[in-house]
Structure 1
Amino acid sequence: MKRIVLFLATNLAVVLVLTVVLNLLGVGRAVSAEGINVGALAVFSLVVGFTGSIISLLMSKPMAKWSTGARVIDQPANSTELWLVNTVRQLAERAGIGMPEVAVYEGEPNAFATGAFKNSALVAVSTGLLQGMNRDEVEAVLGHEVAHIANGDMVTLTLIQGVVNTFVVFLARVVGFFVDKVLLRGNDDRGPGIGYMVTVFVCEIVFGLVASIIVAWFSRQREFRADAGSANLLGSAVPMQNALARLGGLHPGALPSSMSASGISGGGGGWGALFSTHPPMEERIAALQALRQGGAR
């Protein structure tokens, strides 16, 4: 319930901030003079910006199961599945969340957590992860995913994505109207023309790239927090360090593009790192080492 209230409060805050800031700067009056209703545009931008993110969040569990072929363990079929369910239950109890669904899917080493609500989430691991890592390392990975759920990372990232989407839609149209009026040069036709449409298209691409960098940065921060959360749940950072080191030497299993931010591994260097949803393994291991050293003092 608190997260739904947060979601609604964020929606209202976005509309308020856009409207107030523009009016304080005098842009609101100038835009209105050119035929734009700032309030209506803010609401339109809000709806467009958040709708896709909300729908994706609400559908995340069934879509994850369908796209990966994950099989939820209702009745453990073997000792490994029993251990998985029991381990997730213990971690969930420590984290203070409801028992997530536990699933296994065929694929290279990877794992993910998803779901709109922290008390009814899903934790899934691949067969490659179970085969390529020992139980201490798998437990650390499970702790990482449970920490994501406990931290509310799925909802948080959805909020951030919705906010930046709203700004992209809003600003692209404001710029589009101004450019269109400059091109029209006093033409009596006050409706948007080709200048508006082309400018909005270009601005949405440019602003969208900037938005992707912002969202990716937040996603990388949540990975650091989930690593630390695993260390806290297990009482030691060593298992998570070992798990990350192991994952760094394995070929990561690819997830559907819509779920790429949910996986346990990823990250890279160069310019591509700006758009990466995961920090490089070396940085994550270094952060855990710093955590251990800080705890030792």
Structure 2
Amino acid sequence: MLYQQIARNKRKTILVMAGFFILVAVIGAAIGYLFAGTTVGGIIIAAIVAVIYMSVMIGQSTEVVMNMNNAHEIHSASEAPELWHVVEDMAMVAQVPMPRVFIIDDPSPNAFATGNNPEHAAVAATSGLLQMMNREELEGVMGHEMSHVKNYDIRLQTIALALSAAIAALVNFAGNFWWFGGRRSDNDDSPSGIFAIVGSILLIILAPLAASIAQMALSRNREYLADAGSVELTRNPQGLISALTKLKSADPMAKVAPSSSALYISDPELNAKHHPFAHLFDTHPPLDQRIARLKKM
């Protein structure tokens, strides 16, 4: 069950990331068609913008994300002994370098990992998590986060965030260019030409929504994978089951950057308070479903 779940979620991740890159290319083609009459030029521009955004985000992801979430770094075990030693143990079991460790002063229990690769990774835990979880539960949570590091989820989420930002920038450019008179003057008045133009405009309008849904789908798939990875590292599904059960009754975090919500182990804005008909827009799978999968292991 464990290894089947890991393999299944890895396949889903490949599909989602491929969809992301296709979406960027299609948006570029639509912009190129509308404003220059050529799709190739638009695709090239979109690719350049995406690469720039990814390069900036991958190079500075840890500092950017930690500053956004008001996290402060601890540099030795003396500052938070249990957290430091649990992270150290999970990193050793996962066979990855010891990540940088941060604490967020917030009474809501939560945690996340970020960075561009295992060699430059960082994990953060809220003060509420450290107060609420016992050693076994904390190991389950940190095993989850270390699985994100080991599986390169931290890089995938960084790339997804960069691609979403690139799509938003392209759409913003297209909107400004259109309203300030940059629309093509030689548009085809035939039904097929009008249909193509209208379709391109609709595509550009809906692109940010599609990018957000793709980013959320990626996050949901990787959460299931990291849960399974935590069990693989700790050999103790009950630790994470107990931790997730406690998260179900936790209050949302007081302050959190919406763009980094997908990084946390539990949705920091909603926690377990998901809307029953809005799972498409959830950044995390419902905690009950995650617990049910762990119990099947």
Category of TM-score, reference length = shorter chain:
0.7 to 0.9
Structure showing greater radius of gyration is: 1
| Equivalent position of 2:290 in the other structure | 284
* Aligned pairs for 1:147-158 within 5 A: 147-158=147-158
Shift of 1:203: 3.3
Shift of 1:200: 6.5
Shift of 1:159: 3.8
Shift of 1:65: 2.7
Shift of 1:123: 0.7
* Aligned pairs for 1:105-184 within 5 A: 105-107=104-106, 108-160=108-160, 169=170
- With structure 2 as the length reference, what TM-score do the two structures score? 0.73
| Equivalent position of 2:3 in the other structure | none
| Equivalent position of 2:93 in the other structure | 94
- With structure 1 as the length reference, what TM-score do the two structures score? 0.73
Shift of 1:47: 2.0
Mapped pair 1:60 → 2:61? yes
Shift of 1:67: 2.6
Aligned length: 254
Q: Which runs of 5+ in 1 are unaligned?
A: 1-9, 187-194, 293-297
Residues 165-196 of structure 1 show CA distances to partners (whole Å, capped at 9, x for unaligned) of 778859x97xx9xx96786639xxxxxxxx97
Change (3 A) 1:282 1:165: same
Any conservation in 2 of the 1:109–1:126 contact (CA below 8 Å)? yes
> Cα RMSD (Å) of the superposition?
3.6
Counterpart-to-counterpart distance in 2, 1:256 and 1:165: 15
Change (3 A) 1:126 1:162: closer
* Aligned pairs for 1:1-297 within 5 A: 36-78=37-79, 81-107=80-106, 108-160=108-160, 169=170, 185=189, 203-253=203-253, 254-266=255-267, 268-290=274-296, 292=297
Task: State the identity %.
Answer: 29
SS at match of 2:118: coil
Any conservation in 1 of the 2:116–2:158 contact (CA below 8 Å)? no
Work out which structure has the larger RCO, using CA pairs closer than 8 Å and 6 or more positions apart in sequence: 2
Change (3 A) 1:200 1:56: farther
Counterpart-to-counterpart distance in 1, 2:149 and 2:212: 22
Q: Which moved more, 1:138-147 or 1:46-55?
A: 46-55
Shift of 1:238: 0.9
Any conservation in 2 of the 1:70–1:106 contact (CA below 8 Å)? yes
Counterpart-to-counterpart distance in 1, 2:25 and 2:131: 51
Shift of 1:161: 5.2
Q: Which runs of 5+ in 2 are unaligned?
A: 1-16, 191-195
Counterpart-to-counterpart distance in 2, 1:160 and 1:278: 15
Counterpart-to-counterpart distance in 2, 1:252 and 1:238: 24
